[in-house]
Amino acid sequence: MDEIVKTTGLTKLYKGAAAVDGLDMAVREGRIYGFLGPNGAGKTTTLKMLLSLVRPTAGEIEIMGRRLSGKTRIELLRDIGSLIESPSYYGHLTGEENLKILQTVLGVPKENIDKVLRIVRLDRQQTKRVSAYSLGMKQRLGLASALLSFPRLLILDEPTNGLDPSGIHEMRELIKSLPREYGMTVIVSSHLLSEIDQMAEDVGIIANGKMMYQGALYDLHRLDKPKSLEEIFLGLTGKERSL
């Protein structure tokens, strides 16, 4: 299977300290890739580098078989949807107006707005100002923005942050359906191990900016058969019982 994202020696230094340290990441197309790591491990920085929001200090990024550079950046990013850290929105506008702005920027068909609003089940709330949305609704609007162009690659950073249990379940089921229904590849970062366990097919575990394990989740469980993902994760990241 082809790799849709491949990083080689990806490094980001902040004042000499490595936030991401020589990361080799490989994401297979059409899969859900769970990106796990404790707080401050370098997950968000890595995802931001994939989106050119942060400049790598060293290393290379290849997306859809092309090297990410100043020249290819916009062309590649048009095929990537993202939800980084927290959902982005204009609070004084309605959900629909927010998506209309992004639709204009991206140059995608207007019909996509209704489609994504239905997918994230915000179609009944589309005329309400986003400032009046609950956190869960804002999160769903963030996902709708990421889905708007029906991209080949979707990057979601902690998409279930702030959601209640039913919201988490709903978001998880939605993410799981994306590769099947729209042929998307999803990179999803989370600190919730159970969430990744139930959602991802491949997993990358990062600690102190370094990749500790990368491969199919199934293989990870097979390697350490009697252990739960939590135990494996704690063993790999050296955070025994400290989480």
Partner 1 sequence: MMKLIKCEFMKTRRRYVLATALVVTAAMLAWIYPRHQSSDLLRLGWMANLYELPLINSIFMPLLSIIVSSRLCDIEHKGGMLKQLAAAEKRGQIYDAKLLYGLAIMLFCVVLSWGATIAFGYIAGFEGDVPIRLYLLYLLFTAAPTIAVYIFQHTLSLCVKNQAVTFFAGAIGTFFGTFSMFLPQLPWLRRSLIWGYYSVLAFVGLFGWTKEDRYKFAHFDVMEIDWTFFIVLIFICAAIYVIGREIFKRKEL
52 interacts with partner 1 by CB under 8 A? yes
- If the CB atoms of residues 67 and 92 are measured against partner 1, the closer one turns out to be 92
The 140-169 site mask, x for binding partner 1 (CB under 8 A), equals -----x------------------------
Give the residue, chosen from 40, 66, 69, 101, that forms a contact with partner 1 under the rule CB under 8 A. Answer: 101
Q: Residues 143, 206, 173, 76: is their CA dihedral positive or negative?
A: positive
In the complex, minimum distance from the CB of residue 144 to partner 1, in angstroms, rounded to a whole number:
12
Minimum distance from residue 74 beta carbon to partner 1 (Å): 6
- Segment lying near partner 1 (by CB under 8 A), choices 94-102, 175-183, 195-203, 217-225: 94-102
* Contact residue for partner 1 among 2, 69, 71, 105 (CB under 8 A): 105
Choose the stretch contacting partner 1; rule: CB under 8 A; options: 32-40, 70-78, 167-175, 192-200.
70-78
Q: By CB under 8 A, is residue 89 in contact with partner 1?
A: yes
35 binds partner 1 (CB under 8 A): no
- DSSP summary character for residue 66: E
Cα separation, 202 vs 133, in Å, equals: 33
Measured CA to CA, the distance from residue 106 to residue 148 in angstroms comes to 9
Q: Which residues bind partner 1 (CB under 8 A)?
A: 48, 51-55, 74, 77-78, 80, 82, 84-93, 97, 100-102, 104-107, 130, 145
